[in-house]
């Protein structure tokens, strides 16, 4: 880990898409971190963020990292299938730690290689799973750890969002197995993470995937059953084929002592909590008030940056470690492997989907920074 105990953390953003502005505003809310520069291959996007937040903007991150002094960490907010290539480049060529948006990397093998590089160079990787910081999620996690809900018996995830054809037509990488993944990888990854973050380690899964609402190669609907190592069972329903809007993103926990249900647009409302029903109101948030963004991003990125500052300054462990992130990625791949094989599969094996994250050089070429600068 770099010795930044007394220094301000200087973060540059690469990729000025939908969530980038949320990163910029979150950085502005946290003491000890500042936005140093932004970059996007599209000059209009980079310029817009640069001017809004008063920082230099670039279309070439190699030039940005050469010209802007003091950058120590880069937030990689590029298409999902470029995360590995870009993160590796930031670390190996430029010596920067990286913050990597969901789903971190597309394949477990990429995650292991990236962390191996970070270890060798003494750098950090910070995966983004901001929904863990939602008030409702924190309250249920605390209840599970304290035994308020007893033993977990059943977990259920239900995500019903709308992504019409025009959403997938916005960019070449969208709706592809190589660089996006479907409803489960792009929109559902946080809920896949919560299945194990709240319910424990999943042992086996059986999934069926379909493409029902758009002309894309990836799934926009998936239904799955799962079993946990401790004997509990669970279910998952994720779709972006709902119309005409986003409706729900929920997870429920049935325990031997009670029930907890987190719902709302993005697991932001504690809707049922039988150990203490009065806790629901105080542990719910209205994400529609998040300035300048869709309601699904919430407020968790701000806490994520606080966690990064605490890690750098006080040596506090970042809450999502390598093993944690790897387990979530392996669970994600298990759902795809099950659909590919047509039956139950084990999660904790060193196997990967044949589709998710497969190479596509034609698309990758579109999102590479210019060389020779």
pLDDT at 130: 95
pLDDT at 291: 53
Q: Is 240 among the domain residues? A: yes
Q: Give the number of domains in the chain.
A: 2
Q: Is 256 among the domain residues? A: yes
Domain ranges, residue 202:
133-294+318-346
Q: Is 94 among the domain residues? A: yes
In eight-state DSSP terms, residue 41 is S
Q: What is the CATH number of the domain that holds 160?
A: 3.30.360.10
The string of pLDDT tens digits covering residues 100-152 is 999 999 999 999 999 999 999 999 999 999 999 999 999 999 999 999 999 99
Report the alpha-carbon distance of residue 166 to residue 174 in Å, rounded.
10
Residue 369 reports pLDDT greater than 90: no
What is the average per-residue pLDDT within 35-55?
A: 98
Strand ranges (DSSP E) for 245-338?
248-255, 259-263, 269-273
Q: Is 301 among the domain residues? A: no
- Cβ 116 vs Cβ 337: under 8 Å: no
156 with 51, same domain? no
160 with 262, same domain? yes
Q: Which two tokens stand for residue 280?
A: 């629901």
Report the alpha-carbon distance of residue 336 to residue 340 in Å, rounded.
6
The string of pLDDT tens digits covering residues 65-87 is 999 999 999 999 999 999 999 99
Q: Which two tokens stand for residue 319?
A: 């809450």
109 with 50, same domain? yes
Q: Which two tokens stand for residue 246?
A: 């986003």
Rounded-to-10 torsion of CA 87, 91, 97, 98 = 0
118 with 170, same domain? no
Residue 2 reports pLDDT greater than 50: no
pLDDT at 287: 79
pLDDT at 296: 63
Report the alpha-carbon distance of residue 32 to residue 54 in Å, rounded.
18
121 with 138, same domain? no
Report the alpha-carbon distance of residue 220 to residue 20 in Å, rounded.
24
Q: Is 310 among the domain residues? A: no
Q: Is 304 among the domain residues? A: no
Rounded-to-10 torsion of CA 199, 201, 205, 208 = 50
In sequence order, the β-bridge partners of residue 157 are 236, 251
324 with 201, same domain? yes
Position 299 confidence tier, pLDDT thresholds 50, 70, 90: confident
Measured from the Cβ of residue 291, the count of other Cβ atoms closer than 10 Å reads 7
Report the alpha-carbon distance of residue 346 to residue 235 in Å, rounded.
16
106 with 189, same domain? no
The string of pLDDT tens digits covering residues 347-360 is 999 999 999 999 99
């Amino acid at each position: 880990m770099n010795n930044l105990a007394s220094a301000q953390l200087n973060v540059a953003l690469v990729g000025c898409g939908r969530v980038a502005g949320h990163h910029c505003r979150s950085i502005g809310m946290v003491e000890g971190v500042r936005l140093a520069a932004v970059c996007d291959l599209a000059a209009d996007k980079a310029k817009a963020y640069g001017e809004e937040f008063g920082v230099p903007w670039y279309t070439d991150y190699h030039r940005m990292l050469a010209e802007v002094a003091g950058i120590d960490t880069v937030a990689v907010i590029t298409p999902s299938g470029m995360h590995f290539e870009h993160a590796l480049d930031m670390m190996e060529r430029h010596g920067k730690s990286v913050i990597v948006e969901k789903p971190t990397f597309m394949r477990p093998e990429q995650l292991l290689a990236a962390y191996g590089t970070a270890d060798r160079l003494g750098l950090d990787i910070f995966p983004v799973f901001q929904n863990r910081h939602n008030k409702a999620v924190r309250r249920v996690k605390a209840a599970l750890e304290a035994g308020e809900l007893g033993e977990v018996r059943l977990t259920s995830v239900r995500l019903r969002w709308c992504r019409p054809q025009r959403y997938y037509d916005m960019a070449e990488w969208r709706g592809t197995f190589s660089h996006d993944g479907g409803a489960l990888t792009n929109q559902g990854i946080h809920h896949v993470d919560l299945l194990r973050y709240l319910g424990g380690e999943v042992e086996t899964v059986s999934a069926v995937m379909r493409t029902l609402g758009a002309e894309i190669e990836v799934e926009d609907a998936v239904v799955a059953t799962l079993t946990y190592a401790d004997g509990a069972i669970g279910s998952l329903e994720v779709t972006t084929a709902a119309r005409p809007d986003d409706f729900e993103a929920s997870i429920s926990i049935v325990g031997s002592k009670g029930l907890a249900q987190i719902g709302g647009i993005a697991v932001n409302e504690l809707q049922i909590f039988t150990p203490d029903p009065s806790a629901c109101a105080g542990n719910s948030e209205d994400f529609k008030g998040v300035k300048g963004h869709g309601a699904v991003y919430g407020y968790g990125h701000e806490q994520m940056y606080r966690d990064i500052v605490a890690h750098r300054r006080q040596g506090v462990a970042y809450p999502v470690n390598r093993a944690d992130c790897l387990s979530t990625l392996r669970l994600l791949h298990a759902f795809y492997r099950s659909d590919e094989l047509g039956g139950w599969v084990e999660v904790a094996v060193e196997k990967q989907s044949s589709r998710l994250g497969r190479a596509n050089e034609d698309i990758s070429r579109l999102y590479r920074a210019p060389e020779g600068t």
